[in-house]
Amino acid sequence: MLPIRKMIGDGVALNIIPTDKFKTNCISVRFLCPMAEETAALNALLPSVLKRGCLRLPTMADIVKELQMLYGSELQGNVGRFGDTQYLGFTSFPLRNEYTEGMNVSAEILSLMSELINKPLLENGVLKAEYVESEKRTLTDRVKAAINNKTSYAIRRCVEEMGKGDPSSIPDTGTVEQIAAVTPEALTKRLNEIINTANIEIWCAGVFDTDKLENDCVKFFVSENRASRQNTEVTPIAPAEKVNTVTEDQPVKQGKLSLGFTTTLRPTPEASTAFNLFLGVLSSAPTSKLFMNVREKLSLCYYCYAIPDRQKGTIVISSGIEVDKKEVAEKAIISEIEAIKNGDVTDDELEGARKSLISGWKSICDDEMAMINWYSAQTVWDRFISPEDCVENCKALTVSDVSAVASTLTLHTVYFLNGTLKGESEDEDYE
């Protein structure tokens, strides 16, 4: 079932995916802004500061208690990126009325989201300083803690190296310095800018009284002062003239290798299916070349997989290896891509990837969040492509389509996190 999309205000879209297969609904409200150094930290702080308290429910405990009474509904604050866009907002999975003795929890949740955004807790006309400072501290800790997870750290570092000077190198949390510079005044100003100028995408999957839902959304999210929408276009990363090599030492046992590639393929509805099939053959299917050859045959690593950014036209291939196997692993991974370029793809590899993708697409309708993620990534296009459309498109693709995708790839950056610790667990002591 395709979403029903309606513009309910200047730059405000309501998207409804009707389905009665689930015991819960899913509601996600997202504000979209251009990724920019001046606003990244402000945007990243807003959902967590707003969740600390609003006019009616001034403390975090008050809000959580209200959510618990709304049948244990969670209210997630979201911050993320998509192409050169940073989004922020809230998501919740309220129980359907059948399980709540008739209470319309979904309507209550939407109303609560609106309260957090439109009726925040203010002191002297600005967001409460204590909450702002406390969330700045928390976000700073999170930015610093990014180094704890070596896998994601090594991927992120590769992306930064590839996008120097580009919005993609801006962390979606902002930097420690940008966070430190945030004041309650600046954050309050930013909140008002977002309410009035950000593109707003409201996603609702499940069973709804659609008239009431639309009226509520207009009332809650279309402000009187809405002005022109913000630019959310994307500039892909250009291929490198010379491969950029970066090595960083850290006191860990395992080395992390990230190979960053650019592709000249642009994510149109037509091209995206072939791109996915290529990723299946390379990495995501159980028969993939990286899994079967680099892990199973060469026994080089526990994981080796590709992380694509379709909007930015990049693919990072990440793996965890013994530090003295860097050259071997790099060569092995690149040779798998070369093999696909040369059409060296077996029937098992192609059909395995095709079946795996088709199963994945067909099961998207088994999960409301998956449906929302699927369609919300398509709002840059002029129409929606359903998972079923992709299934049909995919059936006709051949090895030469997959090779053609591989031929658009160029190695851009080799990032290596060099582990300097050796051997078994040390530094342990008992009392």
Q: Does 56 bind another protein (CB under 8 A)?
A: no
Q: Specify whether the CB–CB gap between 23 and 95 falls below 8 A.
A: yes
Rank residues 315 and 358 by Cβ distance to another protein and give the closer one.
Answer: 358
**Which residues, 6 or more positions from 411, have their beta carbon under 8 angstroms from its beta carbon?**
240, 243, 259, 260, 261, 334
- Smallest CA-to-CA distance from 410 within 243, 167, 236, 165 is with 243
Instruction: Give the range of 224-232, 299-307, 373-381, 404-412 binding another protein by CB under 8 A.
Output: 299-307
| C-alpha angle 206-50-133 in degrees, rounded to nearest 5 | 150
Helices 184-197 + 40-50 axis angle, to 10: 90
d(CA 214, CA 77): 22
| φ, ψ for residue 83, nearest 5 deg | 60, -130
Of 109-117, 211-219, 238-246, 360-368, the window that binds another protein (rule: CB under 8 A) is 360-368
- Determine the size of the site formed for another protein (CB under 8 A): 71
Binding residues among 59-78 for another protein as defined by CB under 8 A = 59-61, 64-65, 68-69, 71-73
Task: Quickly count: other Cβ atoms within 10 Å of residue 211's Cβ.
Answer: 8
Tell whether residue 253 is a contact of another protein (CB under 8 A).
Answer: yes
Q: Where are the beta strands (DSSP E) in 93-226?
A: 122-123, 126-127, 199-206
Q: Which is nearer to another protein, 151 or 235 (CB)?
A: 151
Residue 196 CA to residue 10 CA, distance in Å, equals 9
Number of neighbours of residue 155 by Cβ within 10 angstroms: 19
Judged by CB under 8 A, the residue of 225, 251, 382, 396 near another protein is 251
* In the complex, minimum distance from the CB of residue 355 to another protein, in angstroms, rounded to a whole number: 3
- Phi and psi for 377 in degrees, rounded to 5? -75, -10
Query: Cβ of residue 251: shortest distance to another protein, in angstroms?
Result: 5
Read off the tokens for 303.
Answer: 């994981």
Q: For another protein, which is the closer residue by CB, 217 or 358?
A: 358
Interface pick for another protein out of 14, 17, 24, 167 (rule CB under 8 A): 24
**3-state secondary structure at position 279:** helix
Under rule CB under 8 A, which residues in 401-420 are in contact with another protein?
A: 419
- Enter the tokens of residue 24: 């819960």
For position 145 contacting another protein by CB under 8 A, the verdict is yes
23 contacts another protein (rule: CB under 8 A): yes
* Contact set for another protein, span 97-136 (CB under 8 A): 99, 134
Q: Binding another protein by CB under 8 A: which of 224, 270, 324, 428?
A: 428
- Map the footprint of another protein across residues 318-337, applying CB under 8 A: 320-322
Q: Which residue of 149, 245, 264, 342 would you call a contact of another protein, by CB under 8 A?
A: 149
Looking at 57-65, 118-126, 210-218, 378-386, which segment touches another protein (CB under 8 A)? 57-65
Site for another protein contains 397 (CB under 8 A) = no
